[in-house]
Amino acid sequence: MRANKLPTEEIERDPAAFADRVTEDGRFGFAAEADRYRLVVSRACPWAHRVVMTRRLMGLERAVSLAVTDPVQEIIEGDPHWVFTARTGSPDGRDPILGIHALREAYLARDPEYDGGVSVPGLVDVTSGHLVSNDFDQISEDMATEWGSLARDGAPELYPQALREEIDAVSAQVYQDLNNGVYRCGFAPDQRSYDRAVAAVFDRLDALEEHLTGRRYLVGEHITLADLRLWATLVRFDAVYHGHFKCNRRKLVEYPALWAYARDLYQTSGFGDTTDLEHIRMHYYRVQTGINPTGVVAVGPDPRGWLTEHGREALGGSPFGEGTPPGSAPDDERVRPLAEQGRGVGEVWDAQER
């Protein structure tokens, strides 16, 4: 859906346009090789955030480079596109590795006739400049299981074989009702569609509250892909989905177990240190003018609550199972300090040249 247009029908998310897999043995045509691929993301996007967290937890930063687009999309030929700008480290408006201004150039390099939508994340083959995949879940699953020796020592099992059926089942419910459900609320074309979507969102949150009251993680005794998929929505809930998408029956902070669970993960390496609330608010409020025609960016909530004690250790389990935490994020990938992510952003960003 074009973000600057009013919704006329219920939102439907298109399947990934390109979904080639990258595996250790290259059995699908693309082998996991250091320095061969570049991951193009927006820090605002929850679908891209899943992959960024997976890459960080698996220690693949040195194997797969990261390119961050501007959170405010540029309108090109009537459609919003993810682009590189000075605000995100590309002074000449082009990614320094791929040499492109807009991610769509990698799509067109792959298929010159492609005329569909362009989404993040995009995994790009650096040598050819071709997009390999924009399938966020498959990229995550493969990074968690198929990158072999390129993953760090002590990387957690994010998609353990014995738990995959349960992870997939939980993830499917969360996707339908919550991950995509908040968008169905925000882009609802009429009252009936909104009422149906918002009921599903809060029914799912209520069920998750009950599920997480007595256990630390969604599936098993340590972090899995199921947690990454849920948390990417939770961290955006009060900042944008509650007000901007009208998901305002309750705030996340009003769910004792869910809010503690979300803080627990925020304070775990790979979660909070990959989150930029300023990018998140700038994207949703500035780009989605069909919902927010003034483009005014909301200032809150105060992000310091993410650092308060959560007490979830008492439930047992450990974040990384038999693994270890990842080391510090690379210097050029560190997000702004949390205190800076709670300021008013409009004036600051307006003053910066695109």
37, 45, 261, 285: the catalytic one is: 45
Q: Which DSSP string corresponds to 129-177? A: --EEE--HHHHHHHHHHS-GGGSPTT---SS-GGGHHHHHHHHHHHIII
In 3D, which of 256, 213, 204 has the Cα closest to residue 233?
A: 204
Length of the chain: 354
Identity of the residue numbered 251: K
Give the contacts of 231 (CB within 8 A, at least 6 positions apart): 53, 262, 265, 271
Identity of the residue numbered 39: L
Enter the DSSP assignment of 331.
G
Q: Cα 199 from chain centroid?
A: 23
Strand bridging mode 22-23 / 30-31: parallel
Distances 342 to 237, 254, 264, 302 between C-alpha atoms, Å: 15, 20, 20, 6
Using a CB cutoff of 8 Å and minimum separation of 24, what contacts does 293-297 make?
Answer: 296/346, 297/344, 297/345, 297/346
Helix (H, G, I), strand (E, B) or coil at 352: coil
* Phi-psi sector, 64: left (phi>0), alpha (psi -120 to 50), beta: beta
Rounded to whole angstroms, the Cα distance separating 112 from 98 reads 17
- 45 an active-site residue? yes
37, 159, 183, 241: the catalytic one is: 183
Strand bridging mode 74-76 / 64-68: unpaired
Rounded to whole angstroms, the Cα distance separating 134 from 19 reads 6
- 185 an active-site residue? no
Distances 215 to 210, 219, 231 between C-alpha atoms, Å: 9, 9, 15
Give the contacts of 190 (CB within 8 A, at least 6 positions apart): none
The catalytic residues are: 45, 183
